[in-house]
Amino acid sequence: MSKIKQSYNFLKSVGNPFFPEEANDIILLPALQNISMVSMTIANTLAHNLKLYTSGLISNKIKICIVINDYEKGKHKDTDEETNLERLVFLCNEFESNGLDIHYSIFSIDQINYIAHEQCNSMWYFKRQWIGNKNQIMLKKPSPVGYSGFEFQTRNINLDFVYEYAEEKNLKIVEFDYGNNFDWILDEMTHSKFIISEFAGLPILGTFAKCPVFIVTEDIISYVIGGKRRAVTYGNGNLSVSFIIDHINQGLIEQKPYSGFLKCITPKDKNELYSI
């Protein structure tokens, strides 16, 4: 069988640069606009290498090679404040080290011919985490663009009830979407009382920062597992409905269901907002 060989281009490093053949792991990221899959894939790879290190199989110096499509390194939309590459570098910088000496090198090739796996079960948290000290809530602006493959509406949801709640509670609403700078989004998330959004991937920045998150859909998307209702979100839902989520805290791995605040509600469930 003949091999199809593509040349690769070095784009950026976080830490010391290296070649792909020197890497502990190589990640193919064929869809950079899907920030939930990008961040979860990186988290899974970090967790896998931490397991190898704690098992005594490798050193704590981890080299992760990330490969993207060359045509995706620029802005996804002209209105975005950052390029996809800048956002990828941001994510690499935000994840905790957890005792590992982590280095990333980012390369591009002409075309990645494979879609990403959607098995994501590692809560590898960000350095910045929830404080909730500002009198505000974060609200992702509704959009008709994005995955909506359910029998009921999950995108472009009417969120007027959130504005009603904020007025009642004298809270400021800080709106955000993909057009905003990710560093600003994450900083505002950590200081907000909670985050509320239609079914979308961007709120995962808050989940990895341990912020309370509400996902709003026309009907509830959830499973009752182990007597507890669990929201289905982020990729195929593994991160919220699996019983073997890897929780990584200060270099220790605990495997258990996700216990953070992540709820799916409908526009009729305004009273749920009072549960924070």
Per-residue model confidence as pLDDT tens digits over 32-89: 988 888 999 999 999 999 999 999 999 999 999 999 999 999 998 888 999 999 999 9
3 falls within a domain = no
Q: Are residues 262 and 149 in the same domain?
A: yes
Q: Are residues 78 and 151 in the same domain?
A: no
Q: Are residues 140 and 247 in the same domain?
A: yes
pLDDT digits over 80-136, tens only?
Answer: 999 999 999 999 999 999 999 999 999 999 999 988 776 678 999 999 999 999 999
> What is the pLDDT at residue 274?
87
126 falls within a domain = no
Q: Are residues 104 and 143 in the same domain?
A: no
For 185-194, letters b (16+ CB in 10 Å) and e give: bbebbbbbbb
Q: How confident is the model at residue 275 (pLDDT cuts 50, 70, 90)?
A: confident
> What is the pLDDT at residue 5?
60
Per the prediction, the chain carries an average pLDDT of 91
> What is the pLDDT at residue 2?
40
pLDDT top residue among 233 and 60: 60
Cα–Cα distance for residue pair 61/102, rounded to 1 Å: 6
Contact between 240 and 231 (Cβ < 8 Å): yes
Average pLDDT of the residues in 210-235: 88
Average pLDDT of the residues in 224-234: 83
> What is the pLDDT at residue 1?
36
124 falls within a domain = no
Q: Are residues 219 and 265 in the same domain?
A: yes
> What is the pLDDT at residue 103?
98
Which of these three, 114, 146, 165, is where a domain ends? Answer: 114
Question: From edge to edge, which strands make up the β-sheet containing 61-69?
Answer: 9-14, 101-109, 61-69, 25-29
- Strand-pair category, 122-124 with 101-109: unpaired
Which of these three, 114, 145, 161, is where a domain ends? Answer: 114
170 falls within a domain = yes
Q: Are residues 263 and 162 in the same domain?
A: yes
Number of domains in the chain: 2
Q: Are residues 252 and 160 in the same domain?
A: yes
Q: How confident is the model at residue 184 (pLDDT cuts 50, 70, 90)?
A: very high
46 token code pair:
């970090």
Q: Are residues 109 and 146 in the same domain?
A: no
> What is the pLDDT at residue 185?
98
> What is the pLDDT at residue 267?
95
Q: Are residues 178 and 268 in the same domain?
A: yes
128 falls within a domain = no
Q: Are residues 161 and 233 in the same domain?
A: yes
Q: Are residues 247 and 167 in the same domain?
A: yes
59 falls within a domain = yes
- Strand-pair category, 252-256 with 245-249: antiparallel
> What is the pLDDT at residue 34?
84
148 falls within a domain = yes
Residue 254 sits in a domain whose CATH number is 3.40.50
Which of these three, 45, 80, 114, is where a domain ends? Answer: 114
Average pLDDT of the residues in 170-184: 96
Contact between 174 and 136 (Cβ < 8 Å): yes
| Domain membership of residue 32 as a residue range | 9-114
1 falls within a domain = no
Q: How confident is the model at residue 153 (pLDDT cuts 50, 70, 90)?
A: confident
Q: How confident is the model at residue 17 (pLDDT cuts 50, 70, 90)?
A: very high
